[in-house]
Amino acid sequence: MTTIRLTTLSVCAALLASSALAQDVNLMDGVEPRPEGNSIVEAGAFQTEAPWTIAMSHFGVNANTWTVQTAHEAKGIADGDARIENFIMLDANFDQAKQVADIEDLIAQDPDVLIVMPVTPTSADAGIQMAIDAGIPVVVHTGRTENQNFTVDIQGGAENFGRVMGDFLVEQLGGEGKIWVLRGLPSHPEDINRYNGLMQALEGTNIDITQEDYGNWVYDLGKSLCETFYLNDPQVDAIWSSGADMTRACVDVLTEFGADIPPITGEGNNGFFGQWLELGYPSIVAEYSPSQAAAGVRAAVALLEGEALHKHYIYEPEGWNAEKAAEYYRDDLSANVWWPTELPEETLQELYGN
């Protein structure tokens, strides 16, 4: 009996120690182990002597300024670690078939770790399996996959993002009113999940969506959308915008028409911060840092160092108010920087300096 108790205690101690070790790895501020349904990647499971080759399949580098910055964030971390001899990043250009091909080409180069930002929930499934079968650990982030056989994933909660914005509007409107909804890319999982988060926030309220359409998360389309909405029916109590460039565009439209700016949701974008702080309209920032790409590289490095990690990490930060935005805003940088960032000052100046 004593032996059983001792064994049980030893196992519990080992599990706790392993869990504690896994929690010690800070992938990024705001990224936490998922509290439920998690497991541990044991210490040393993928420990490898440097130099390392880290391969990364990016879902689409050049879609907008945020995606561009994710690529720089990942590359910045990799370039700063002398043990990473070769960092190979391929751009799927939001093409599911290309991501399948990219992952094949990356695996053919026998990397020590494969990092995947999936185009769609299924675009990387076969590739993940191929890598795992070849003994290559896989880190998935900024997009979910149906294949759950990856080694570690880090997921920004798109529903949390939409809900943070939705809760703010519900509070601002006291539970009733008319809102416009500016969505992202049609059919994109991130857009659908953010919208689901909004729907959760609106449940049980008397808030009606009077106008809704897709602005593809870009300024130009966001502007056209808001012009159309305003000309169609200028009565609006608040605006739920799924992306900061669309928020800026919509505020510009309302300003041009001489209308009051109602509560409108935003994102951690420098251009939006400048406009928000200058005009002082009611808003909130849902944080969605491009540094998630840096966290992905950091997770890959931790695996190769032999650190214990959790299998699932989540990134569901609280919303930012104007005071916090003011701490980050930089008028010496262009509108295209996204906060928070891990890019060093030199790189920020090089890429975004005015």
Which contiguous run of DSSP H or E holds residue 100? Answer: helix 96-108
Which range of residues in 83-91, 172-180, 261-269, 291-299 is near another protein by CB under 8 A? 83-91
Binding-site member from 23, 96, 196, 334 for another protein (CB under 8 A): 96
192: contact with another protein by CB under 8 A: yes
Which range of residues in 14-22, 23-31, 113-121, 151-159 is near another protein by CB under 8 A? 113-121
Distance of alpha carbon 40 from the chain centroid: 23
What are the structure tokens assigned to 255, written together? 């300003």
Nearer to another protein, 102 or 112 (CB): 102
Nearer to another protein, 23 or 53 (CB): 53
Question: By rule CB under 8 A, what string of x and - marks binding of each residue 128-167 to another protein?
Answer: ------------------x---------------------
89: contact with another protein by CB under 8 A: yes
Q: What is the closest distance, in whole angstroms, from the C-beta atom of residue 198 to another protein in the complex?
A: 17
Q: What is the closest distance, in whole angstroms, from the C-beta atom of residue 266 to another protein in the complex?
A: 26
120: contact with another protein by CB under 8 A: yes
67: contact with another protein by CB under 8 A: no
Short-list 296, 309, 305, CA closest to 47: 305
Are 263 and 282 in contact by the 8 Å Cβ rule? The answer is yes
Handedness of CA 100, 101, 107, 113 (dihedral sign): negative
Rounded Cα distance between 307 and 75, Å, is: 22
19: contact with another protein by CB under 8 A: no
Nearer to another protein, 214 or 313 (CB): 214
Q: What is the closest distance, in whole angstroms, from the C-beta atom of residue 58 to another protein in the complex?
A: 6
Residue 195 amino acid letter: Y
Rounded Cα distance between 297 and 260, Å, is: 44
- Which residues does residue 334 pair with via DSSP β-bridges, in sequence order? none
What is the CB-side half-sphere exposure of residue 201 using CA atoms within 13 A? 28
Are 88 and 147 in contact by the 8 Å Cβ rule? The answer is no
SS3 341: coil
List contacts with another protein (CB under 8 A): 58, 61-62, 71, 86, 88-91, 93-98, 100-102, 104-106, 108-110, 119-123, 125-126, 146, 186-189, 192
